[in-house]
Copies of this chain bind each other. A is one copy, B any other.
Amino acid sequence: MEQILYFERGEFDARLASVKAEMSRRRLDFLLISEPPNLNYLTGYDAYSFYTPQMGIVALDRDEPIFITRGMDTTSARITTYLSDSSIHGFPDNYVNSSERSPYDYVANVVREIGGEKATIGVEMGGYYYSARAHADLIKALPRASFVDADLLINWIRLVKSPAELVFMREAGLIGDAVIKRVVETAEPGVRECDLAAAAYHQEISGTPELGGSYNSSVVHLGVGERALAPHSSWTDKPLSNSTVINIEVHGTRRRYQINVSRTICLGKPSPGYENLADVAIEALNAGLDSVRPGRACSEVYGAFQKALARHGLEKDQRIGYPIGIGYPPSVAERTASLRKEEKTILQPGMCFHMMTGLWLGDQAVTITQPFAVTETGYEPLTFTPRTLVVK
């Protein structure tokens, strides 16, 4: 069967070496990987199969990871990973949603087979796909092993993107630009909110003529009128009115690498007060971006943004950004370094963020944002849509 692998083997080897080095430093014999983006990062695995249990295993003394998934999904593992067949295990279907059998017993058996009965095992305690049940079942099945929280171990390594990854981040950005363009073209009075969202989805998946898109980790966030004040709200069936504010967050996803970008579109002329708020939001966004430098802390970027806001008597007490990269539901955000007041992480070239400087203030909301990569000297925008309020 034809393989679909988007990176050279050397890239995967380097990633595995980094993970093993960190495991050694923490004295972990094994690392159990439940997070879909971490599995994709280490093995290439890509299929929408993570809604049933699956697990990657890195053992310090083994050359390649082991991957365990539902039997029917081993086909995807053979297509999308570099793993040899002997490293791919499929559990029987009667383990799925069963009250009698736990897939984690199956995982524990594999761990035992490769000598992990008394090992020190890192697990992703805060992962989206590592439930309280998963942890309880594993502890019960491996009573002589010791379990250590290794949440975000791989996420922190993923934070700095390689040149090959940055290629996909830039391509994702081009798709994101095409989506915003399509949304701006489609937004007209009388168009149903759902049809505006549908146009965004169509472009996200279609991509550009050169670059096919993919599904993304989240949904289009579309707040219209009053609902523009609800950051993660959805669309309705209602037609857009002659005079309204549309806040929309869309994505570009290329080979699982994803950017997020938001814009505000006004149908009809906005009030001078609203235009002024948008100007302030853009000024602060640009101030944040201009402050990006390798060697600076995330908190300094927040500080530059907040200083610009404060000149106008405003404050945003939420974080103004999160790291982006490989996107699987429910979120592309890597859960590591946020751009916010207290975040001490130092910026390095190759880190990618969505500077999400949305303002939801009283009865007004503006969401004009910018995904970017940290470069040797500052930042590289990953989308090129002008940072302006769109008025139609």
Residues of A within 8 A of B (CB): 1-2, 4, 46-51, 71-73, 75-76, 79, 92-94, 96-97, 100, 123, 125-136, 149, 151, 192-195, 197-199, 201-207, 211-215, 218-221, 226-227, 229-237, 317-319, 322, 329-331, 333, 335-336, 338, 340-342, 360
Contacts and interface: CB of A to CB of B under 8 A. Distances in A.
A46 B234 contact: yes
Given A192-B212, A198-B203, 11 more contacts: A2-B226, A48-B219, A51-B128, A73-B230, A93-B340, A94-B341, A125-B136, A198-B205, A201-B205, A211-B237, A329-B329
A123 B128 contact: no
A214 B128 CA distance: 23
Contacts of A134: 126, 132
A331 B51 contact: yes
A344 B372 CA distance: 53
A93 B329 contact: no
B194 A206 contact: yes
A326 to B, nearest CB: 14
A329 B234 CA distance: 14
Interface of A is mostly: loop
Contacts of A218: 48, 51
B226 A212 contact: no
A69 to B, nearest CB: 10
5 tightest A-B CB contacts, nearest first: A194-B212, A212-B237, A132-B135, A198-B206, A51-B331
Kindly name the residue among A132, A317, A318 whose own CB sees the greatest number of chain B CB atoms within 10 A.
Answer: A132
Contacts of A331: 51
A201 B92 CA distance: 32
B215 A92 contact: no
Contact of A227 (B73, B79, B132, B220): B79
B93 A318 contact: yes
14 contacts: A1-B229, A46-B234, A47-B232, A48-B219, A51-B330, A72-B231, A76-B230, A93-B318, A96-B338, A128-B129, A198-B201, A198-B203, A198-B206, A212-B235
A215 B234 contact: yes
A131 B125 contact: yes
A106 to B, nearest CB: 15
Given A2-B226, A97-B335, A134-B132, A76 B202 contact: no
A333 B213 contact: no
Contact of A330 (B192, B212, B329, B341): B329
Kindly name the residue among A76, A127, A360 whose own CB sees the greatest number of chain B CB atoms within 10 A.
Answer: A76
A331 B329 CA distance: 10
Given A93-B319, A96-B319, A198-B213, A221 B48 contact: yes
A202 to B, nearest CB: 4
A153 B215 CA distance: 32
A97 B322 contact: yes
Nearest to A215: B219
B330 A234 contact: no
A43 B79 CA distance: 42
B129 A132 contact: no
